Structure 1
Amino acid sequence: MNLLFSNDRQGQYPESWYAATTAFLPPFAPLQGAVTADVCIVGGGYTGLSAALELARAGRRVVLLEAHRVGFGASGRNGGQLGSGQRVDQQGLERLVGRADAAKYWALGEAAKALVKRLISDHDIECHLKPGVAWTGSSAAEVAELHGYVDFLRERYGYDHVEALDEAACRALCPSPDYKGGMIDRDAAHLHPLRLAVGLARAAAAAGAVIHEGSCVHHVAPGLVQTADGRVKADHVILAGNGYLGTLDRKVLARVIPINNFVIATEPLGAGAAQVLTEDVAVADSRFVVNYFRLSHDRRLLFGGGESYGYRFPKDIAAKVRRPMAEIFPHLKDVRIDYAWGGTLAITMKRLPFLARVAPGVLSASGYSGHGVGTATHAGWLMARAIMGEQEGFETMSALPAPAFPGGGMMRTPLLTLAMSWYALRDRLGI
């Protein structure tokens, strides 16, 4: 099954609140015939666009191929949270790779966050960037863990942008009866993800990158990328398809698996928005199947949640997401839902990104595991810098543990379904 065409209309953005509030660029023409480039990039999301922008600014001839429209995939559909560090917290990273290397990954995560903020500023991307992301706990144990993490970041990493929230402070920020406390990161941020993607595409094109939309890649080899109607000969190739990469590379296929997630936008809440959030921050909770939400600039609740283990989107996305939303905000159980959409992201076994040289002259980055606003953008920049001879950042990220999923291509999805179903059941039972 080709996820590029399984759940969406070809060449069209999903009917999301993001799409409804974005001024799109005129379509870029599909690739026709044979062209040459210094670098060919497969995928027009954050990774590919960031790489294209950096390379074009350095004078490289860049051709970017996107099967649909720029920002079509997870880059234009996600929860819009720009987090600190890596997807795995620093305590987990220290256990996994040791304290010294964990410190390197913290620094790279902070560089990713700073890169996104700088690109938004440098290229005047109006994507409603706002500071603040809170993490909440639904049990005393979860709250204690979050408070301990605040102390850990402050003492070990000197990161003083975080503060603990007791139950009263948490309720004052987010009046949900489900949450018992948490933490807030004032240097993390949230934004309009599709506007960010479109802004990066505009900047890359202005810098000289050649973008072709409606150009689905069906074959990649060192020095050659082919679509149905054309081919690109290039010294370097960047694979930036993430959850939509499919079978273009078997090494990536074994280590990165696509999963679906879903988001809804309620009707504008007006003054009732204060019953959801009293500050303009984003929230993610401590469930294994994470609920994440924030208010839009027109005072809607944008709420993400609801797991899906098949590759097809459910017929009623709104009903699927309404269920966890009503658990967090019972007073909204009957609120009108104006938009509901799904998207495909990609995860790895360790929930850490997979960056690799998959063949001579072919670099790949994917598997951002829900931390892609910063990590994906940074991964594209790192691959661009590696092509230009600055290897350190890319090599450090490519050293992250990246085991293959058990069972290879045939069994990885059924096994993941079993595992995710178990953790979802634990969430529901409060175990």
Structure 2
Amino acid sequence: MNDSLAFDQSWYAATAHAAPAHAALASDCQADVAIIGGGATGLSAALHLAQQGASVMLLEAGRIGHGASGRNGGQIIPGLRLGAADLVARFGAEQGGALFHLALSARDLVVDLVARHGIACDLELTGHLTTAVRPSDLDDFAHEADAAAKLGYHGLSVLDAPAAQAAVASPSHGGLLDAGGGHFHTLNHTLGLARAAAVAGAQLHEHSAVTRLERRAGGVVLHTSAGRVTAAQAIVAGDALLGPLNARVHSRIMPVANYIVTTDVLPDGGAGLIPGNQAVSDSRFVVNYFRRTPDGRLMFGGGERYSPRPPADMAAFVRPFLERSFPMLAGVGIAHAWGGLVSITRSRLPDIGRDGPVLWAHGYSGQGAVLSTLGGALLAEAALGDESRFTPFAAVAPSGFPGGALLRGPLHVLGMLWYALRDRTG
């Protein structure tokens, strides 16, 4: 599904560190845990399992990091798609607070892994700013900052319009600054996780698509075109690219395409656009998001598209949204344009769970840049018998989409039309 989304034309591919190739699975073998998917979820699980002495076999259908973990916006946004206020309203202070703090730990986990394994991924902990597209958003921001503070998190601050416009040279009514946020090179981060997992003893295989997941007494068997992996447990970490391999998991997510560009190198390196070098997104449901790159470009993603099919010209599709956010960049050259699939759930909470020997984590709903690494760690802990951090998410697993996979496409089109109208009318 990602084949038409121009990964090789991405800024990430152009600036990635050299990484070793991993041979395709070519024979039958055994492992304690078999993992489907070579993104941050699968690699984090592989790393944490191997560090605890488990034998791990990871199977990636394409190349390591060529899914969402190697092409997303690289924005470090602490927490979940649902903020502290929504979590407490939905689940109460105790359960909602536990979910909130568990999600916050994803940021610290990524920072720790980057430092511990020497992952060179341009990590910038400069904050994340959400800009207000409606005056009423400021009330919501104040409510969120207050709810987070009551749960013990004091990283949020509300900016008035002058302060927000000083932080980012884009029209807005104000902003919500999260001091815990930032950004990084998501592909280099993923490749770094792969290197660390391999050093720890995990076996990684690229170009090894799993065609069937078979349950047997005492475990599972993963089938590929060239071999099989027999394991006591399997971790399904394919997210939006999983396809119908596991019907339960597949029914809980809706794959949505998203498109990103980087501009030509800007005369001031983008310093005049985002002086503090924060990661930025706006308050629309169909979010626009952007940040500076280390080589002096603006990376910009988002825009409304009512069809799941990719546009013929991704740069031309994204340009009007970029220029609306930054009128001074009208006509700017676009150097890279690419797309990727994001998986969303009905509740906008990740789907993390297990069914006997099969565990999974996916559906990060646009927050997966760091949540995916946490998801893999939670799966590893559960596979090793400790479900204390796994259970809070499993307890709030989202339900499937009405009509299953058959109606998700039409639902996506209707939903995008509705939320685009809501973004315009408030």
TM-score (norm 2): 0.96
* Pair 1:188–1:257, CA change in 2 (3 A): same
| Counterpart residue number, 1:179 | 172
> Which among 240, 243, 246 is matched to residue 240 of structure 2?
243
Which segment drifts farther, 141-150 or 187-196?
Answer: 141-150
- What is the Cα-based RMSD across aligned positions, in Å? 1.4
Alpha-carbon distance, 1:413 to partner: 1.8
Preserved CA contact (<8 Å) 1:116 1:377: yes
State yes or no: 1:152 paired with 2:144.
no
Identical positions, percent: 42
Structure 2 counterparts to residues 286-305 of structure 1, below 5 A: 286-305=283-302
| Counterpart residue number, 1:213 | 206
| Counterpart residue number, 1:77 | 71
Q: Any gaps of 5 or more consecutive residues in structure 1?
A: none
Cα distance in structure 2, aligned partners of 1:387 and 1:112: 19
* Pair 1:309–1:24, CA change in 2 (3 A): farther
Preserved CA contact (<8 Å) 1:266 1:338: yes
Which segment drifts farther, 140-149 or 114-123?
Answer: 140-149
| Counterpart residue number, 2:18 | 24
Cα distance in structure 2, aligned partners of 1:143 and 1:378: 30
Cα distance in structure 2, aligned partners of 1:214 and 1:39: 19
Cα distance in structure 2, aligned partners of 1:284 and 1:39: 37
Alpha-carbon distance, 1:309 to partner: 4.6
Preserved CA contact (<8 Å) 1:260 1:309: no
Cα distance in structure 1, aligned partners of 2:153 and 2:5: 42
Q: Any gaps of 5 or more consecutive residues in structure 2?
A: none
Structure 2 counterparts to residues 30-429 of structure 1, below 5 A: 30-131=24-125, 132-154=127-149, 156-176=150-170, 178-222=171-215, 223-271=220-268, 273-358=270-355, 360-427=356-423, 429=424
Cα distance in structure 2, aligned partners of 1:420 and 1:355: 25
Alpha-carbon distance, 1:401 to partner: 4.1
Tell me the number of residue pairs that the alignment of Structure 1 and Structure 2 aligns. 421
Which segment drifts farther, 157-166 or 21-30?
Answer: 157-166
Letter of the 2:293 counterpart: S
Preserved CA contact (<8 Å) 1:260 1:307: no
Q: Deviations over 1:234-275 (max 9, x none)?
A: 111000000000001111121111111011000011326233
Preserved CA contact (<8 Å) 1:263 1:341: yes
Preserved CA contact (<8 Å) 1:136 1:143: no
Preserved CA contact (<8 Å) 2:31 2:231: yes
Q: Deviations over 1:79-138 (max 9, x none)?
A: 111221212111111122222100110121122111111111100111111121001102
Preserved CA contact (<8 Å) 1:73 1:343: yes
Preserved CA contact (<8 Å) 2:130 2:177: yes
Query: Secondary structure of the equivalent of 2:128?
Result: strand
Letter of the 1:104 counterpart: A
Which segment drifts farther, 395-404 or 58-67?
Answer: 395-404
Cα distance in structure 1, aligned partners of 2:214 and 2:269: 55
Letter of the 1:183 counterpart: L
Cα distance in structure 2, aligned partners of 1:313 and 1:35: 38
Alpha-carbon distance, 1:187 to partner: 1.2
Query: Secondary structure of the equivalent of 1:313?
Result: coil
Query: Secondary structure of the equivalent of 1:297?
Result: coil
Query: Secondary structure of the equivalent of 2:317?
Result: helix
Q: Deviations over 1:354-407 (max 9, x none)?
A: 01213x201011100011122111111011011111111111111114111111
* Pair 1:4–1:227, CA change in 2 (3 A): farther
Alpha-carbon distance, 1:147 to partner: 2.7
Alpha-carbon distance, 1:219 to partner: 0.5
Cα distance in structure 2, aligned partners of 1:159 and 1:273: 31
Q: Give the 4+ runs in structure 1 shifted more than 4 A.
A: none
Letter of the 1:383 counterpart: L
* Pair 1:294–1:391, CA change in 2 (3 A): same
Preserved CA contact (<8 Å) 1:147 1:182: no
Cα distance in structure 2, aligned partners of 1:21 and 1:164: 35
